[in-house]
Structure 1
């Protein structure tokens, strides 16, 4: 294993951030695909960190045994800037407190041939901007890119550009995903910046990218961090690497992915119509029918006549749910994957800020 670090100078004197980078390789590295995997770009999303911790130990053993065929780059904790942010004792890892920018938005949209330009003029940029350029530069040297995140309360699912589907169903199978969201390639999130760069080399937006993959993996919810679930996810990542021929082994063939693949236009983002205490009536993993009661909002405790019911706009699968039990007006409560398009008028790009 080769160890290095990405060093990000801070935006105040005498501060810098060091991001460990672990590289595993084998004798056939130039003959097979290169892999890049990172976790915790949203610093308070830690299931991927736990999974990569176990995976790296396994990769070290495989490298020593000569069982790694390709180049595998792992960034186990990609955002120490966000990890150092706390407000009233709670980590604020999704947004930069200085700029209010989402750490997984506003990645440069460039062609992969311009990759070298990402590292030009870095001294003029803020630490979060430098972080994004350094990570994207590393990822564009690979063929398979996995960005490990998690949702709030959630089933395991992934955002996968339709350019990679259904070829990427082996990843969904290996990680035992309950759903796939087919993204539209219209955001500036990390995984879409990678696929955008590849698409530019093939002439534009509506192209297929055989043999490539850039995906956001949502490893359940924020509290799903522990030895058993981490081992399951590490095993899933290992099975995917074996299926793609990156590591050697006699793993059983992956079962075909049998779960749903939802276009983003079919995702119902259930929002709180009024502020108040949230009483959920349905949980993640449940299937609902149109009109089913999802939650009751209590804006005026002690006055039940003011309670507001939230019902399913159409039939579907409850993929995520908010862990908060108080909602402000228009806060997200659930994501429900459906067969029909939402009538909520979704804009192109990411589902959430």
Structure 2
């Protein structure tokens, strides 16, 4: 394993950021190249834990000469966000200077213009230099995984329709309970990679065999345990074996033969359940539950102690509860749940991400 450190100068005197990068060099020139990063939202740490255990397996594979394709790993992709603490809590999702989500505003460039990301580099802010650095590294690979997590959540992923259903092997390897088929219309990291991959020959392609860009949501923010991290690392290792990045280990675990059986639905089928009034949340259903139209999802206690002081939140359509908020007090309009529905939930959703 080769370790390098990228230094990014800060935007004020005397400040700089260090970005460790781990690399495993493959032995087969035409084997798929892989890029994996975690904690782009710095307070989302299940992916960092996964990488810790994955690298242990990769070092063993490297010692055995079994790493066929180059693997680049960034375990903590956002040192800027990791340093942002407000009243004792890390603020790793939004850049406090610009109020922009760290996983938005990545440059959209065709693959042929990859090196242009580093043009006039010193004139960019530290956050933009970080984003361009990460994207430049990712576009040197064929398989790109951005490891995130949700609030309270099942295991799921955002995958562009251009990579589906080929990417069902990833969903199966990581025991995902759902896949959200994204439309490729945002500036998130995974979709910026997909934008380049779909335009590798100039014209936009509807399907890109052999390539993959995915955002993997590794359950919830508090799901950081050695058992789940090891299980996820083993699943990702098996995925790399199946894709020809790592040679099949003798006597080692192999990718399960069964196909992905969970729902794979477009973003138009995701029901965003929001609080219609502020109040205390009493959930009646949990993540992973399959629900029917009319089922009671939550009660909002809006006026504690009053006979008319609560509101019921019911399901508009049948589906799978994929996420819910960990907050137990919400403001009007706050997200309560994401439900993967069998049918389209609305016709007026703007292309792009589901939330900020």
Deviation at 1:312, TM superposition (A): 0.5
Which position in structure 2 is the counterpart of 1:241?
Answer: 240
Which position in structure 1 is the counterpart of 2:281?
Answer: 278
Deviation at 1:62, TM superposition (A): 1.1
Deviation at 1:206, TM superposition (A): 4.9
Q: Is the 8 A contact 1:298 1:304 kept in 2?
A: no
Of residues 314, 324, 340, the one that matches 1:337 is 340
CA distance in 2, matches of 1:62, 1:185: 34
Deviation at 1:343, TM superposition (A): 2.7
Q: Is the 8 A contact 2:173 2:255 kept in 1?
A: no
The answer to whether 1:310 aligns with 2:313 is yes
Deviation at 1:8, TM superposition (A): 1.2
**Higher deviation after alignment, 302-311 or 43-52:** 302-311
Deviation at 1:64, TM superposition (A): 1.3
SS of equivalent residue, structure 1 residue 94: coil
Query: CA offsets, 1:248-271, max 9 Å, x none?
Result: 124434221111101100000000
Question: TM-score, structure 1 length as denominator?
Answer: 0.98
Q: Is the 8 A contact 1:39 1:75 kept in 2?
A: yes
CA distance in 2, matches of 1:176, 1:191: 20
Deviation at 1:212, TM superposition (A): 0.2
CA distance in 1, matches of 2:254, 2:138: 29
CA RMSD of superposed structures (Å): 1.1
Which position in structure 2 is the counterpart of 1:347?
Answer: 350
Q: Is the 8 A contact 1:276 1:299 kept in 2?
A: yes
Which position in structure 1 is the counterpart of 2:24?
Answer: 24
Question: TM-score, structure 2 length as denominator?
Answer: 0.97
Which position in structure 2 is the counterpart of 1:41?
Answer: 40
SS of equivalent residue, structure 1 residue 201: coil
CA distance in 1, matches of 2:159, 2:135: 17
The answer to whether 1:252 aligns with 2:251 is no
Gaps of 5+ in 1: none
Deviation at 1:349, TM superposition (A): 0.3
**Structural mapping, 1:70-109, within 5 Å:** 70-109=69-108
Query: CA offsets, 1:306-335, max 9 Å, x none?
Result: 311111010000000000001011000000
**Structural mapping, 1:61-140, within 5 Å:** 61-140=60-139
Which position in structure 2 is the counterpart of 1:200?
Answer: 199
SS of equivalent residue, structure 2 residue 146: strand
CA distance in 2, matches of 1:328, 1:205: 41
CA distance in 2, matches of 1:80, 1:312: 40
CA distance in 2, matches of 1:299, 1:259: 36
**Structural mapping, 1:261-276, within 5 Å:** 261-276=264-279
The answer to whether 1:156 aligns with 2:158 is no
CA distance in 2, matches of 1:210, 1:57: 30
Which position in structure 1 is the counterpart of 2:219?
Answer: 220
**Higher deviation after alignment, 325-334 or 245-254:** 245-254
Q: Is the 8 A contact 2:42 2:93 kept in 1?
A: yes
Q: Is the 8 A contact 2:146 2:215 kept in 1?
A: yes
Of residues 279, 284, 294, the one that matches 2:297 is 294
CA distance in 2, matches of 1:316, 1:202: 39
Deviation at 1:126, TM superposition (A): 1.1
CA distance in 1, matches of 2:307, 2:64: 66
Q: Is the 8 A contact 1:44 1:91 kept in 2?
A: yes
The answer to whether 1:12 aligns with 2:15 is no
**Higher deviation after alignment, 161-170 or 247-256:** 247-256
